[in-house]
Amino acid sequence: MAGAAVLGRLTWRAADVVGVATETPRVKTIAFDVDGWPGHLPGQHVDVRLTAEDGYQAQRSYSIASAPDGARIELTVERLDDGEVSPYLTDELRPGDEIELRGPVGGYFVWEPSRGGPLLLVAGGSGVVPLMAMVRRRAALGSDVDTRLLFSSRAWDDVIYRDELEGLNGDGLRVHHALTRSQPPGWSGYARRVDAEMLAEVGPAPSERPQIYVCGPTPFVEAVAEALVELGHEPLRIKTERFGPTGG
Ligand SMILES: Cc1cc2nc3c(=O)[nH]c(=O)nc-3n(C[C@H](O)[C@H](O)[C@H](O)COP(=O)(O)OP(=O)(O)OC[C@H]3O[C@@H](n4cnc5c(N)ncnc54)[C@H](O)[C@@H]3O)c2cc1C
């Protein structure tokens, strides 16, 4: 049975685009109906494969943004202007198009409300995507697990899921923004990169033994993990996912 399950995840499946939504000027969310989708856990990702007319193929990983929801999954993709795959996903895909994907992949960077808390989620840019799946799952199940989300973006207009996060703030979830490059007038949130002092303020304290998930570009993840260890968090409770280029 276990073998069949693994083979199932490794099967490339047809994924039909059913919606495209703009999150920020550089980020879109694409919704797919996936043929035979086996379901997923918040934090898992998929491999996406594109095939050109001449047979050339390119493959990348994308976290699943949505909470488990039958055969439907959502991916949130940031366009890298010089990228090979991301501009196609953000600019070219339309409802009715089909791509291939396989998954879900990953069993380590996952969280379900049944695993309890407190929970500290630290995101840099599009690194918020798998953490959003956790936050959405928490909300869908009506969980009140103590959850802090510290989300670093360049500017207010780059904050992915901004309105939805505002709406979810409360009921044990506290959302803190850090804007590193520019801040709107009257900004009262953080206006610098994530550091140990900020992490200590956001909490929970190491003595509360939070489960910690950190996701974003490789240098961001490494700096945050280092600061967390410096504060006294147990390395084994810090789970990380790096979105950097392959091998980065
Ligand atoms: C487990 C996992 C989950 C991921 N989930 C997401 C997600 O939910 N949303 C999302 O937008 N991306 C995600 N990524 C990143 C994604 O897989 C691609 O790396 C990204 O979309 C760039 O692909 P590309 O083909 O457009 O760029 P490429 O053609 O691969 O690269 C173009 C240029 O950008 C640089 N580069 C590549 N990747 C990055 C990056 N992530 N940040 C900065 N520079 C980069 C390269 O070095 C190169 O110079 C995830 C990566 C991993 C490993």
Supply the pLDDT for residue 3: 65
Contact 161, 128 (CB under 8 A): yes
- In this structure, are strands 173-179 and 211-216 parallel, antiparallel, or unpaired? unpaired
In the chain, domain spans: 2-104, 113-242
Q: Is the dihedral of CA 59, 84, 44, 20 positive or negative?
A: negative
- Which residues sit opposite 13 in a β-bridge? 101
DSSP secondary structure string for all residues of 94-157: -TT-EEEEEEEE-SSS---GGG---EEEEEEGGGHHHHHHHHHHHHHTT----EEEEEEESSGG
Contacts of 149 (CB under 8 A, 6+ apart): 121, 122, 123, 128, 131, 135, 165, 173, 174, 175, 176
CB contact burial 165-179 (16+ within 10 A = b; e otherwise) = beebeeeebebbbbb
Contact 92, 103 (CB under 8 A): no
Which residue ranges of the chain lie beneath pLDDT 50? 247-248
Residue 112: other Cβ atoms inside 10 A = 15
Instruction: Assign domain 113-242 to a CATH class.
Output: alpha beta
Cα 217 to ligand 1 centre (Å): 9
Same fold? 2-104, 113-242 = no
Question: Is the CB of residue 220 below 6 angstroms from any atom belonging to ligand 1?
Answer: no
pLDDT reported for residue 97 = 97
Residues 132, 65 contacting (CB under 8 angstroms): yes
Task: Give residue 137's pLDDT.
Answer: 98
Spatial distance between the Cα atoms of 221 and 189, rounded to a whole number of angstroms: 21
CA distance 74 to 245: 22
Tens-place pLDDT, residues 197-217: 999 999 999 999 999 999 999
**Is residue 240 in contact with ligand 1, taking CB distance under 6 Å?**
no
Task: Please give the pLDDT value at position 244.
Answer: 81
243 lines ligand 1 (CB under 6 A): yes
Superfamily for 2-104?
Translation factors (2.40.30.10)
| Number of helices followed by number of strands (H, E) in the chain | 6, 11
Which residue CA neighbors atom 27 of ligand 1 most closely? 83
Residue whose Cα lies nearest atom 40 of ligand 1: it is 244
Contact between residue 144 and residue 174 where contact means Cβ atoms under 8 Å apart: no
